[in-house]
Amino acid sequence: MPELFEVVIEQIPRDQVVPLLTHLIPNPTLVQAQICSENLALFSSGEVSPTAAQTFLDAQDGLIVIVSLTSMRVDDLVFFDVQLRIINADGRYHLDFNFDEAQNRSLPQDTLVTMLHNFSRRLAREFSIPIIFAGLEPAEDLRTQIYAFNSSDLK
């Protein structure tokens, strides 16, 4: 059974949700499928739909959108078959993505982790994200968590 590596981004500022999505998915043609807890297509006509994004941000009862990507680039690495989930939990926004960590077996695991850690720190700075952690799924489990930091660690 493959082990999934998961990166979790919590408490995304409302005004940074769409820019973060656009940064992580710069080419929405990579979207294979999307599933939403409501009738909402966040990606439409090759881009983030402004109307759907506003509906997602304004949802009072919470929404979850799961996006299957053919690939996702993290610096010089490309991961295939990435699952990305964006959550509006009553006005608190979270995002996570996972991929099969075996995809980059040619790369030493410590190098992979360092690259993802550096990528996460840049995301935190650029998008004012207070909490990011990662590890083998489930990354919130301290036994499988590989790194975690909050905004105070970035000062």
- Total domains in the fold of the chain: 1
Contact 67, 34 (CB under 8 A): yes
Query: Mean per-residue pLDDT for 100-128?
Result: 87
pLDDT band (50, 70, 90) for residue 117: very high
Give residue 98's pLDDT: 95
Identify the residue with better confidence: 59 or 84.
84
Q: What percent of the chain has pLDDT over 70?
A: 94
Give residue 104's pLDDT: 66
Give residue 46's pLDDT: 67
The Cα 94–Cα 1 span in angstroms is 27
The Cα 142–Cα 57 span in angstroms is 30
List b or e across 142-154, with b for residues whose CB sees 16 or more CB atoms inside 10 angstroms: eeebbbbbeeeee
Domain containing 108 equals: 4-154
Judge residue 49's burial from the number of C-beta atoms within 10 Å of its C-beta, 0-12 exposed, 13-18 middle, 19 or more buried.
Answer: middle
pLDDT at 154 over 90: no
pLDDT at 1 over 60: no
pLDDT at 95 over 60: yes
Query: Mean per-residue pLDDT for 116-143?
Result: 93
